[in-house]
A and B are shown apart, each in its own frame.
Chain A
Amino acid sequence: MTDQTASLASFKGEDAQKKLRKRHRAERRFRMYGMAAIIFAVAFLIFLFGSIFSQGWSAFLQTSIKLPVDFSQEVINPSGNPADEEELFRANYVKLAREALYGQLGIDPKDRKVRRDANRLLSRGVDVQLRDMVLRDPSIIGTTQDVWLLASDNADALLKGSIDRATPSDRRQVSDQQIGWIDQLVDKGDMKKRFNTGLFVNGASSNPETAGLGVALIGSLFMMITVVLLAVPLGVCTALYLEEYAPKGKISDTIEVNINNLAAVPSIVFGLLGLAMFINFFGLPRSASLVGGLVLTLMTLPTIIITTRAAIRAVPPSIREAALGVGASKMQLIGHHILPLSLPGILTGTIIGLVQALGETAPLLMIGMVAFVVDYPSSPLDPATGLPVQIYMWAASAERGFVERTAGATMVLLAFLIVMNSLAVYLRNKFERKW
């Protein structure tokens, strides 16, 4: 070591100044790297959200045509007995809708070509729309009602601007005459974009304008309930046992390593496991949301176990000693102190696990939840799909309506994820205790 005066001198003078400036520059540079990385990430996030929102917002609107539909007794219920559901069910509702349209457009119903052109303005789902109205309230038979009927995918696309009017008519999906009718209806206010409730309540459909997320939402709900009911108690109990009771040794080390490994196993492997175990071995039905929930439970368990263990370990040892020191038993220690104090961590871990499970697609593909399900599942044993699977299926469809619905469904999924993550943050802050 040099003597003190010499070492002090080295902090002064030109050389030292230079060194100091160099260090300051290095510090600034280091900070800039971090900022650059964050700006990069934020830019990508904005780009992602921007592209999804710009494509998807139009899915929340759907073009409809207001038509005075004559619910003619003759067509719907010739027998005159409104209790005959079979007859009401089979009636030719398409005819009603089309006739109303011909009347509204003032075209000659005898000209077959014109008629066919006009028919293409209406969705193929209008019969279901009218049938549901009649089945809900048979007293409308024999009256004329103004009904907003779904327009076809092409008409919808024209109104939303995704079919360009400047395209030559032979390469355009909408003929000049149809454009004329559409403009005529729009001018009268009888055709416009309305909020698309069907997106949230309808089941699967091959017509984009009548396809919705209803079945997927219910399937996802069933799966989340299954996961909460199974993964949370199993995960928390496992974590408690491993942290508080299990003797430290080779066995608990092995278990720990394996749990950590499970957290990293690709989700499709869990799907294969679910297929082999729940469907082939236990004989549970294919495509059922119960099986989906079980598979997602297996997938979520490691996350919940790991976060719960971390939360338990974060309880200060002094609190443990305090409780044991006044004569609390192990169960009392856990029930009165460890669990309440680690609750915020457990909740956060659980919600993050659920968010992961909600967005998971691959394992559901393996167990047949990628299905065309029109009817609402009434129990977790009925066939259903899930939100991300629905997105996956729509993304594979070519129609314009499905493109915007893919983005729209992604927005719905993202909304759920963001809400759940915010809930996790909120709960953590609410229950966090200071010691």
Chain B
Amino acid sequence: MEDRPATTVEQPAGPKETGDAAPAGLGELKMKATDVNLWYGDKQALYDVNLDIFGQSVTSLIGPSGCGKSTFIRCLNRMNDVIDICRVQGDIRLDGEDIYAPDVDPVQLRARVGMVFQKPNPFPKSIYENVAYAPRLHGLCASKADMDEVVETSLIKAGLWEEVKDRLDQPGTGLSGGQQQRLCIARAISVNPEVLLMDEPCSALDPIATATIETLIDELKENLCIAIVTHSMQQAARVSQRTAFFHLGKLVEVNDTSTIFTNPSDQRTQDYVTGRFG
């Protein structure tokens, strides 16, 4: 049984027709958010956010603490639904399909739009079980051999296979922080999601583990649409093709990463990326 949606959605007159064409070097338009407003109780946290996320690329969301970037990313797989007081308004589409439509099952959506969290959060189960959990949940593997293969491929894609292949039966919580986070990535990609949301995936990791994850993100984007929230502007510059700057719940500016960091059109973006505040 799934809980009734805690959110009310008002359909806009129709999706806006502008900006659907992918900029050069990016895949096709994957997710499109139009006029997204969000409230926690009486407090509005997002104001009219319009953002396009393209396939085969990394979109990074930057901005000072509390600017709403994490809140926004959690709208994209309806993780905000589990917060009672949270109310979302606006239109968010995945491949042109409204994800807040009444007939969309948020549980299924979350299999298509995977998520990696700030703090590595493996289940207190074995490494194998951590990765096998989601495919088993969605009944994707008919046999044990299939499952073994899915686990192996996911761990290889997450760059963890070589380190753990001899101890798949050991608890995932016994790995180091960086390994745990890669395990969580393996878990998220085990069901072949179309979009991968990453909410500050490196903020709890040391620089070496961070570098490993960044390389991994770079490889994953070949087949995946990735949106990453980050506090580190260097990280945004290193891994992403497009960058969106959030400030006080508003999307201030979104553009190619190089443009944002070298020639932003908004003064606030300029101030933030040059380190004057935030």
Using a CB–CB cutoff of 8 Å, the interface residues on chain A facing chain B are: 245, 247-248, 316, 318-332, 336-337, 341, 433-435
Check B124 against A327 for contact (C-beta < 8 Å).
no
Return the contact of B107 from the options A245, A318, A328, A433 (Cβ within 8 A): A328
In the docked arrangement, what's the CA distance between A51 and B82, Å?
57
In the docked arrangement, what's the CA distance between A300 and B272, Å?
58
Between-chain CB contacts (< 8 Å), 28 pairs: A245-B3, A247-B84, A318-B119, A319-B121, A320-B82, A321-B115, A321-B117, A321-B121, A322-B121, A322-B184, A325-B77, A325-B79, A325-B110, A325-B114, A326-B133, A326-B187, A326-B188, A326-B191, A327-B109, A327-B111, A327-B137, A327-B191, A328-B107, A329-B107, A336-B133, A341-B124, A434-B124, A435-B173
Query: For A324, what are the chain B residues with a Cβ–Cβ distance below 8 Å?
Result: 79, 82, 110
Name the residue on B nearest A323 (C-beta). Answer: B123
Query: For A318, what are the chain B residues with a Cβ–Cβ distance below 8 Å?
Result: 117, 119, 121
Task: Tell me what chain B mostly uses at the interface: helix, strand, loop, or mixed.
Answer: mixed
In the docked arrangement, what's the CA distance between A270 and B213, Å?
60
Name the residue on B nearest A245 (C-beta). Answer: B3
Check A319 against B123 for contact (C-beta < 8 Å).
yes
Q: How far is the CB of A332 from chain B (nearest CB, A)?
A: 6
Known: A245-B3, A327-B111, A328-B107. A322 touches B122 (CB 8 A): yes
Interface residues of B in 1-50 (CB under 8 A from A): 1-3
Check A325 against B3 for contact (C-beta < 8 Å).
no
Number of A-B contacts (CB under 8 A): 71
In the docked arrangement, what's the CA distance between A209 and B250, Å?
86
Taking A320-B82, A324-B79, A326-B133 as known contacts, 16 extra A-B pairs with beta carbons closer than 8 A to each other, sorted by chain A number, are: A245-B3, A247-B84, A318-B117, A319-B121, A322-B117, A325-B110, A325-B188, A326-B114, A326-B188, A326-B191, A327-B107, A327-B191, A329-B1, A337-B123, A341-B124, A433-B124
Assess whether B108 is interfacial by the CB under 8 Å rule: yes
> How many residues on chain B are close to A (CB under 8 Å)?
31
Known: A322-B117, A330-B1. A434 touches B173 (CB 8 A): yes
Assess whether B276 is interfacial by the CB under 8 Å rule: no
Query: For B184, what are the chain A residues with a Cβ–Cβ distance below 8 Å?
Result: 322
Q: How far is the CB of A328 from chain B (nearest CB, A)?
A: 6
Using a CB–CB cutoff of 8 Å, the interface residues on chain B facing chain A are: 1-3, 77, 79, 82, 84, 107-111, 114-117, 119, 121-124, 133-134, 137-138, 173, 184, 187-188, 190-191
Name the residue on A nearest B197 (C-beta). Answer: A325
Query: For A328, what are the chain B residues with a Cβ–Cβ distance below 8 Å?
Result: 107, 134, 137
Check A329 against B191 for contact (C-beta < 8 Å).
no
Q: How far is the CB of B176 from chain A (nearest CB, A)?
A: 15
Q: How far is the CB of A327 from chain B (nearest CB, A)?
A: 4
Q: Which of B110, B173, B188 has the most CB of A within 10 A?
A: B110
In the docked arrangement, what's the CA distance between A332 and B191, Å?
17
Query: For A336, what are the chain B residues with a Cβ–Cβ distance below 8 Å?
Result: 133
Q: How far is the CB of A22 from chain B (nearest CB, A)?
A: 44
Query: For B77, what are the chain A residues with a Cβ–Cβ distance below 8 Å?
Result: 325
Q: Which of B111, B114, B137, B184 has the most CB of A within 10 A?
A: B137
Q: How far is the CB of A218 from chain B (nearest CB, A)?
A: 41
Query: For B137, what are the chain A residues with a Cβ–Cβ distance below 8 Å?
Result: 326-328, 332
Q: How far is the CB of B75 from chain A (nearest CB, A)?
A: 14
Query: For A332, what are the chain B residues with a Cβ–Cβ distance below 8 Å?
Result: 137
In the docked arrangement, what's the CA distance between A319 and B123, Å?
6
Lowest 4 A-B CB distances belong to which pairs? A327-B111, A318-B121, A326-B134, A325-B115
